[in-house]
Structure 1
């Protein structure tokens, strides 16, 4: 059984991952009491409601890959649903942030990473108006920069890069750079009014800012984060639970293989998949085709590149105080994950 709802959310993955990470941090010590589904029942997957996720699973949902006899249902869920799913074990596999995985473990919720999700290669930037006096990252000192969420992946990367690369502390209060939480759809108008000097952008908001509003990127955050940490950050991962890992390992391996093939199909047929996901909306299709120049879908993969990207994100999160230490990947890697 497969479902294929077509979400067109402009919500950034960064904001979603931030809320997931924060919610995981407040789990009770005993953790949720969900039970593993019986062998042979449907493997359920919950991923964030975003058109890029529809691209990742398009081939799987349109019979382009072999599921090896496993029944799979993919659900595209809003942030609040993803929070509940992660904690309640409502789904067999759930997309979340690497930080959520680390935080949840400290509160009693043990999970295992099956694969990487989205890798940020050049998705996160700081944009300014074309006529801005800000010409370099150093010019951000004393300025106000819009962010989507205090603990979002884009904010984590920005704070790390400004600190390690430019000696600038970026905070909501008291830093060299003031961070101001702003809804993505309000950023452009506030910048035009002079209420904001710059904005951290990624995904659709960045596409609109740079293509429609002709804004300029003064800092390629994720590129510089990769240079500083040695790997392009992995923003999200797909997790499962220890009891499922033990009871349904073979089925999980088949699903992971199918996800990898589905992602490869999307990468090899970008225009076809973008057109189908956009359903005739030329603007959406153009955005989705462009998106591939800034990020990569890693669903079904957990190789050395992916592991390094997860560690890079943990390193940045520890540096800005979201987690106390950088975990060991071996602690969280699922036995059903693909070979490194």
Structure 2
């Protein structure tokens, strides 16, 4: 099992080298010039890489409701990498014009010098909905707060990402020392068993796995990501090179997505229909639970907190400036 304390400088070097290589490749091959191709009737062709899990629903709604077509766009939606932070190379080399990821996935690329920018949010943590993720322990566990994670082992789905950050941040907020937590990466499907068997002292789970774990008798602590309202859980990004050359098209794209976000929040049945088609979650589970709340806005204040704290916790080697994070037409708000 791997723990959270892994060399970061080597990762930074590899990512920087990758970014440089991809930049040269894009230049040599025409890069984003291919992205500017149009259909026979003049529509701008766009490929967007979605996540494999959720939060992609507004993309399909924009397609179904004709928002992309009305904007003069021919959009192809494809499933991207399982780890959405790995979608950046496809955007940099022009295979796709936009891609999904979360805060930490994007920030790792931005901190390594990749020429990528956030163009819009899709979903952020909010107190408007009940928690759909969180820390879980056995009912008789002595862990009653995040501070109690000091010296404990916590199972998470991936090391160094958003979930590890949340655990460390909330531990620090509770007066604990996050450096004293041992994290282990486990398959999402194995998290519940790890907590129940005592393989780990706690786990952080999400979505249907979180609810199933609670139904099986595990006890939740805190409110998960909802304890960090404004933290971006899903976003779309593009290469700065593409945005510089195709700003009008990019604006039409994010405006169409914004319309779809408004529609999604008002029509839960449409969202559930998409989930039944594009996820492997049981239909009865989808019907029994409320949809998430979608939001295009990017909370600059919370994102800066995430950047600062991820750097403090050793999850980022550098703190990217706002100019290296957001496209200048992205829907950024300050709170």
Question: 1:1-340 to 2 correspondence within 5 Å?
Answer: 24=15, 27-32=18-23, 33-34=25-26, 35-36=31-32, 37-38=35-36, 40=38, 41-53=44-56, 55-65=57-67, 67-79=70-82, 82=87, 84-105=89-110, 107-121=112-126, 122-170=131-179, 175=180, 177-210=181-214, 212-224=215-227, 226=228, 231-279=229-277, 281-286=282-287, 289-292=289-292, 296-298=293-295, 301-302=296-297, 306-338=299-331, 340=333
1:137-185 Cα offsets, whole Å, 9 max, x none, are: 3333333221112212011111122124222234xxxx2x322222121
- Find the aligned partners of 1:159 and 1:76 in 2 and give their Cα distance: 30
Q: Distance in 1 between matches of 2:104 and 2:275?
A: 29
Q: CA deviation at 1:79?
A: 2.2
Return the offset for 1:82. 2.5
Contact map agreement 1:47 1:77 (CA 8 A) in 2: yes
Structure 1 runs (4+) deviating above 6 angstroms are: none
Write the distance in 2 (CA, Å) between the matches of 1:178 and 1:331: 32
Q: Structure 2: which 5+ residue stretches go unaligned?
A: 1-10, 39-43
Specify whether residues 246 and 137 from structure 1 end up closer, same or farther in structure 2 by C-alpha distance, changes over 3 A only.
closer
In the superposition, relative to structure 1, how do residues 25 and 100 fare at CA in structure 2: closer, same or farther (>3 Å)? farther
TM-score when normalising by structure 2: 0.78
Aligned length: 300
In the aligned structure 2, how far is the partner of 1:135 from the partner of 1:107?
A: 37
Q: Say which is worse superposed, 73-82 or 250-259, in terms of deviation.
A: 73-82
Q: For 2:123 and 2:16, how far apart are their aligned partners in 1?
A: 22
TM-score, length basis structure 1: 0.77
1: CA distance, partners of 2:189 / 2:78: 26
Q: Is the 8 A contact 2:50 2:79 kept in 1?
A: yes
Paired residues of 1:110 and 1:242 also in contact (CA < 8 A): yes
Change (3 A) 1:180 1:108: closer
